Amino acid sequence: MTVRELRSKFLRFFEAKGHLHFPSASLVPYDVTGRLDESLLFTGAGMVQFKPYFRGIAQPDHKRLMTCQKCVRTGDIDIVGDDTHLTFFEMLGNFSFGDYFKTEAIAYSWEFLTSTEWLGLDPQRLSFTIYEEDDEAFAEWCKWFATVGIDGSTRVFRLDDETNYWPAGAFTKGPPGPCGPNSEMFYWVADSPPPGPKYTRADWIADDAAVNWVEIWNDVFIQYEWQGELKNPSRPAEGFQKTGMPELPFRSIDTGMGLDRTALVLGGYRSVYDTDVFLPIFEAIDALGNPGPETDPEEVARARRVIADHIRTAVFCISDGVLPANNGRGYVLRRLIRRAVLKGVRALQIKEPFFHLVYEGVVASMGDYYTELTERRDVIVETLRNEEALFRRTLENGLRLLNEQLQAAEGAFSGASAFHLYDTFGFPLEVTQEICRESGIEIDVDEYDLALGEAQARSRSGQEREAVYSAVGGVTELAVDGAPDTTDFTGYADTQHAARIVKVRMPEGSTTTYVALDNTPFYAESGGQVGDTGDLCFADASIRVLNTTKNQGTFWHEVASPDGHAADSLLGQVIVAKVDAARRARILRNHTATHLLQAALRRVLGTHVTQAGSHVSPSSLRFDFTHGRSLAREELEAVERMVVDQILANSDVTIYVDIPIAEAKARGAMALFGEKYGNSVRMVEVADFSRELCGGTHVRTTGQIGLFKIVSESSAASGVRRIEAITGEAAYEFVLEQSARISEAAALLKAMPRELVHAVERQTEALRDERKKRERAEAAMAKGSTTANSTTTQVGTNILVTQRFEDLDSKIVSEWVDDLVARDPHAIALAALVVDGKITFTCKVGGAATAHAGNLVREVAKIAGGGGGGRPEFATAGGKDVSKVDEALAAAPSFL
Ligand code: SER
């Protein structure tokens, strides 16, 4: 059975049991309400997105759902490459939210596993573990075993909460959240026949350790809300202290079947890498070339597996909006890519960037089900290629250093060196550790952490504010009776609205107060657009709104300590909320212009361009996007011109409120990469040029933007470029200032502004001519003085020419001696150059002359209180006594 068939079989089975197919959540763990689960880096199980449903704080449309969830777990990254561990895998799951419970869940699992209509697995080869106190689960499984004549007590075993609670160990150590006992399902994969009727719990534990059993499925009986507090809030890693474990409002089911592992079992394989899903990926790897005879086949096999695993994780992460970075999810991604690249370089001897080529294998095997892989092809390929190129730039030097240090290391590798490898060469610690381990050498991780901590402390100064803010202790929050949970936003239509103050928050020790209204025209900072400022007006006074932010649907207006009104007396007051309209208008221009810019970039540079960040403020806009190279001037001009054309066309900006996401996507709307959207969305359209999902405020027609000007293009991060631009008044001011500067410069050159370039050229040329003239004059002076001031003496067949020079460039003196001996091979040229009271004697001897330049200058220099010497044909020497220069030159013939 192929992986595809298994996936669809599971979904068909549970559909027949009344389940609706719910889409896989993003790998970035947004839950069904659109909130990011801060406790997790990645979605690692089907249940993650459903936490609000289990808790009863959000209601699903249907009480029975099923999913095929993409999952990333990197906890076992070191053993990836063995038979069963992967960092990316698919989890099939059926869920009940307060509908069926344990009896049905176990019955469904048994039927799907054993019925010949479904997987038809041999019950003799199945075993189950349950939580030690779960008598019900024990009875249910035994009931099913009895139907096939097997004594359940030889197949169902009780274990503790480390293995048989979800999350693992949840009964004792948390984390906070929905949890419950579980039951894991195992299949006998050993070559020997499955165990007989005397099988015990101790036998099972030994066989599990020997990997004779492979876990394929897990039923979780969600029942409780584990409650607890961090033992030490400043060190979250120390874990939680349990404070209670009340029952949830209803009982639920969460199950997770490992698609790859189940396919392994069905195919009779020993390794998940033998399943068909990996075939096209290995083909793509093998197409890169043959590693050559001197490579170790075991190392090659492992490297192929690691690359095959990591490419899936990398590709799925990028398609969900994660980009390589130095922290958080981005760092996990970076580590995976670099680890795979190193395997390719070291074990497979691949010389050129290759990882992005393996992407095609993933598309061939999974692209039909996960359409995001091809929809985001360009950005995936570009990101992989850039990250590998970045790493390869330092790879060779890093590896050389690593090897040198490995040879020097005796048993231990310094943590500071490992940090240096990370900091300078981009080697993730785990990668260095892995390479060291191959030589049986350990890294001093404490020392590494210390070096990392110091580096972080050095770069943290900019983030201090945040730390201080979160250190502020308690918050007092007051609310009127019946205060709404969320604020109505009226600001798409107006910038002014009557409203009532319904909540007031006062962070302890802060002079800022936060005010919430029942409805507000103030836009709250989101989607890159800054929050509005303005005033809350009472009959006789007003208070200033410095910023607007939102938290879970409530818009908070940040006000300076209210003047004449005690903070708590604000509560319940009716006011008029007035947004700074001129500032808002500037924001609108920049926001719509950002959309036009993105559309233009995709047309000029290609569809790999994807938003990686944006900041829309009244003064300017900043747009970060995925692209591996800086933009050429022509490209920037083309982009700018395209945006300006759209402005000149004065197209309508149409807002579609609440359209189904499928429709928006079908119409080609750009979604913010990795963002969680609801079923209906807001789409902003500019003619046929740009469509984006966006909650921001925009101009009504593009003509209102006025003018658009790109002011800079730079690198924001590896593979990410940044464009800053201005619109409207700011762009006009910019143009004014530029032309003023041009006029000023032209006036200085006594030219008309339009002749500035020509005038500068003329000026530069004149300067160049001037300089040449001067040089020529100097040279002429030097040569001219040769004939006038030099002394020529015949000594045997030699012709000695001496001359004194003052304040000249030594180059001219060199030319003079060269010139002389070039003209007459019998010549011996001896020059004395006096500059700032220092004397330099230079002597050159012609090819036919019989003298030693070194000896001659030495004797001559002595007279002037100096010394030196050199080769027979050319030498220089210094002197100190300027009054003796002529005497020294005059003595030269006698030395010959
Ligand atoms: N949450 C459980 C697991 O991941 C079952 O889906 O194993």
Instruction: Give per-residue pLDDT as tens, 7-33.
Output: 999 999 999 999 999 999 999 988 888
Mean pLDDT of all residues in 724-745: 94
Q: What SS3 state is found at 566? A: coil
Ligand 1 site, residue 45, Cβ cutoff 6 A: yes
Which atom of ligand 1 is found nearest the CA of 46? 6
Mean pLDDT of all residues in 176-190: 95
> What are the backbone angles phi and psi of residue 90, rounded to the nearest 5°?
-105, 135
* The pLDDT value given to residue 566: 64
- The secondary structure of residue 414, as a DSSP letter, is -
Selection from 453, 439, 341 nearest residue 389 by Cα: 341
Measure 164 CA to ligand 1 centroid, in angstroms. Answer: 11
Ligand 1 site, residue 46, Cβ cutoff 6 A: yes
CA distance 795 to 802: 13
Which atom of ligand 1 is found nearest the CA of 167? 1
Considering only CA atoms, which residue is closest to atom 4 of ligand 1? 45
Are the C-beta atoms of 778 and 812 separated by less than 8 Å? yes
* The pLDDT value given to residue 467: 22
Given a cut of 50, is residue 105 above it in pLDDT? yes
Given a cut of 70, is residue 637 above it in pLDDT? yes
Measure 10 CA to ligand 1 centroid, in angstroms. Answer: 16
* The pLDDT value given to residue 852: 94
Ligand 1 site, residue 255, Cβ cutoff 6 A: yes
C-alpha angle 311/316/221, rounded to 5°? 115
**Mean pLDDT over each residue of the chain, to the nearest integer:** 89
Are the C-beta atoms of 242 and 172 separated by less than 8 Å? yes
Measure 92 CA to ligand 1 centroid, in angstroms. Answer: 9
AA letter at 626: T
Mean pLDDT of all residues in 395-401: 86
In tens, the pLDDT along 288-306 reads 988 877 788 898 999 999 9
* The pLDDT value given to residue 364: 97
For the chain, percent of residues with pLDDT exceeding 70: 95
Mean pLDDT of all residues in 744-763: 92
* The pLDDT value given to residue 789: 73
Question: Quick check: bond before 753 cis, omega within 30?
Answer: no
Q: Report which secondary-structure segment, H or E, holds 624.
A: strand 621-626
Given a cut of 50, is residue 468 above it in pLDDT? no
Selection from 612, 622, 588 nearest residue 710 by Cα: 622
* The pLDDT value given to residue 675: 63
Instruction: Give the pair of three-digit tokens for residue 737.
Output: 């200032």
Ligand 1 site, residue 44, Cβ cutoff 6 A: no
CA distances from 675 to 49, 173, 612, 613 (A): 14, 32, 11, 12
Are the C-beta atoms of 394 and 423 separated by less than 8 Å? no
Are the C-beta atoms of 665 and 671 separated by less than 8 Å? yes
List all residues 6 or more positions away from 754 whose beta carbon is below 8 Å from its beta carbon.
Answer: none
Positive or negative, the CA dihedral 752, 754, 757, 762 is: negative
Residue among 163, 165, 166 to mutate when testing ligand 1 (max atoms within 8 A of CB): 166
**Farthest CA pair distance, the chain:** 128
Q: Which residues of 849-869 are buried (b: 16+ CB within 10 A; e: fewer)?
A: bebbbbbbbbbbbbbbebebb
Given a cut of 70, is residue 180 above it in pLDDT? yes
Measure 508 CA to ligand 1 centroid, in angstroms. Answer: 41
- CA dihedral in degrees (402, 408, 414, 420; nearest 10)? -30
CA distance 65 to 22: 6
List all residues 6 or more positions away from 34 whose beta carbon is below 8 Å from its beta carbon.
Answer: 676, 677, 678
Q: Report which secondary-structure segment, H or E, holds 844.
A: strand 838-845
Ligand 1 site, residue 93, Cβ cutoff 6 A: yes
Measure 429 CA to ligand 1 centroid, in angstroms. Answer: 30
* The pLDDT value given to residue 564: 46
Range from 243-257, 466-480, 511-525, 605-619 carrying the lowest mean pLDDT: 466-480
Res. 713 pLDDT band, cuts 50 70 90: very high
Which atom of ligand 1 is found nearest the CA of 91? 6
Measure 244 CA to ligand 1 centroid, in angstroms. Answer: 22
Ligand 1 site, residue 220, Cβ cutoff 6 A: yes
Given a cut of 70, is residue 190 above it in pLDDT? yes
Given a cut of 60, is residue 563 above it in pLDDT? no
Instruction: Give the pair of three-digit tokens for residue 130.
Output: 């349950």
The residue behind tokens 């005497």 is 887
Considering only CA atoms, which residue is closest to atom 2 of ligand 1? 256
Are the C-beta atoms of 216 and 187 separated by less than 8 Å? yes
Ligand 1 site, residue 179, Cβ cutoff 6 A: no
* The pLDDT value given to residue 508: 66
CA distance 787 to 517: 97
Ligand 1 site, residue 681, Cβ cutoff 6 A: no
The more confident residue out of 775 and 688 is 688
CA distances from 193 to 114, 189, 212 (A): 18, 9, 11
In tens, the pLDDT along 515-557 reads 999 999 999 998 899 999 999 988 777 889 999 998 888 999 9
Which atom of ligand 1 is found nearest the CA of 219? 5
Measure 30 CA to ligand 1 centroid, in angstroms. Answer: 17
CA distance 311 to 307: 6
* The pLDDT value given to residue 784: 52
Instruction: Give the pair of three-digit tokens for residue 350.
Output: 């691949």
Considering only CA atoms, which residue is closest to atom 6 of ligand 1? 256
Res. 452 pLDDT band, cuts 50 70 90: confident
Res. 462 pLDDT band, cuts 50 70 90: very low
CA 54 to chain centre: 33
Positive or negative, the CA dihedral 626, 628, 632, 633 is: positive
In terms of DSSP bridges, do strands 542-551 and 496-507 run parallel, antiparallel, or are they unpaired?
A: unpaired
Q: What SS3 state is found at 174? A: coil
Res. 464 pLDDT band, cuts 50 70 90: very low
Ligand 1 site, residue 170, Cβ cutoff 6 A: no
Instruction: Give the pair of three-digit tokens for residue 809.
Output: 């460039």
Which atom of ligand 1 is found nearest the CA of 220? 5
Ligand 1 site, residue 26, Cβ cutoff 6 A: no
Selection from 309, 305, 304 nearest residue 286 by Cα: 304
Measure 44 CA to ligand 1 centroid, in angstroms. Answer: 8
Measure 258 CA to ligand 1 centroid, in angstroms. Answer: 9
CA distance 883 to 402: 63
The residue behind tokens 């997770």 is 256
Residue among 72, 182, 221 to mutate when testing ligand 1 (max atoms within 8 A of CB): 182
CA distance 680 to 227: 34
Ligand 1 site, residue 47, Cβ cutoff 6 A: yes
Ligand 1 site, residue 674, Cβ cutoff 6 A: no
Given a cut of 80, is residue 678 above it in pLDDT? no
Confidence (pTM): 0.63
In tens, the pLDDT along 124-160 reads 999 999 999 999 999 999 999 999 999 999 999 999 9
Q: What SS3 state is found at 467? A: helix
Range from 74-83, 222-231, 352-361, 455-464 carrying the lowest mean pLDDT: 455-464
Range from 102-111, 469-478, 746-755, 789-798 carrying the lowest mean pLDDT: 469-478
CA 674 to chain centre: 13
The residue behind tokens 């573990």 is 129
Measure 208 CA to ligand 1 centroid, in angstroms. Answer: 19
Which atom of ligand 1 is found nearest the CA of 71? 4
Measure 48 CA to ligand 1 centroid, in angstroms. Answer: 9
Q: What SS3 state is found at 520? A: strand
> What are the backbone angles phi and psi of residue 684, rounded to the nearest 5°?
-110, 125
Q: What SS3 state is found at 253? A: strand
Are the C-beta atoms of 83 and 272 separated by less than 8 Å? yes
Res. 475 pLDDT band, cuts 50 70 90: low
Given a cut of 50, is residue 466 above it in pLDDT? no
CA distance 640 to 627: 17
Segment 437-445 long-range contacts (CB within 8 Å, at least 24 positions apart): 439/406, 441/406, 441/409, 441/411, 441/412, 441/413, 442/411, 442/412, 442/413, 443/412, 443/413, 443/414, 443/415, 443/418, 444/412, 444/413, 444/414, 444/415, 444/418, 445/415
> What are the backbone angles phi and psi of residue 537, rounded to the nearest 5°?
-105, 125
Which atom of ligand 1 is found nearest the CA of 184? 7
Instruction: Give the pair of three-digit tokens for residue 381.
Output: 């390929």
Res. 494 pLDDT band, cuts 50 70 90: confident
Are the C-beta atoms of 830 and 860 separated by less than 8 Å? yes
* The pLDDT value given to residue 561: 66
Measure 45 CA to ligand 1 centroid, in angstroms. Answer: 5
Which atom of ligand 1 is found nearest the CA of 256? 6
Measure 67 CA to ligand 1 centroid, in angstroms. Answer: 12
Measure 18 CA to ligand 1 centroid, in angstroms. Answer: 21
Ligand 1 site, residue 256, Cβ cutoff 6 A: yes
Mean pLDDT of all residues in 851-869: 93
Mean pLDDT of all residues in 250-269: 96
Ligand 1 site, residue 254, Cβ cutoff 6 A: yes
- The secondary structure of residue 59, as a DSSP letter, is -
Res. 473 pLDDT band, cuts 50 70 90: very low
For the chain, percent of residues with pLDDT exceeding 90: 62
Measure 93 CA to ligand 1 centroid, in angstroms. Answer: 8
| Highest mean pLDDT out of 23-37, 462-476, 597-611 | 597-611
Selection from 530, 719, 522, 728 nearest residue 622 by Cα: 530
Q: What SS3 state is found at 438? A: helix
**What is the DSSP code string of 286-314?**
HTT----TTS-HHHHHHHHHHHHHHHHHH
* The pLDDT value given to residue 681: 87
Question: Quick check: bond before 178 cis, omega within 30?
Answer: no
**What is the DSSP code string of 194-249?**
PP-TT--HHHHHHHHHTT-EEEEEEEEEEEEEEEEEESSTT-GGG-EEEEE-PEEE
Measure 39 CA to ligand 1 centroid, in angstroms. Answer: 16
Given a cut of 70, is residue 887 above it in pLDDT? yes
Selection from 398, 393, 391 nearest residue 435 by Cα: 398
Given a cut of 60, is residue 558 above it in pLDDT? yes
Measure 340 CA to ligand 1 centroid, in angstroms. Answer: 28
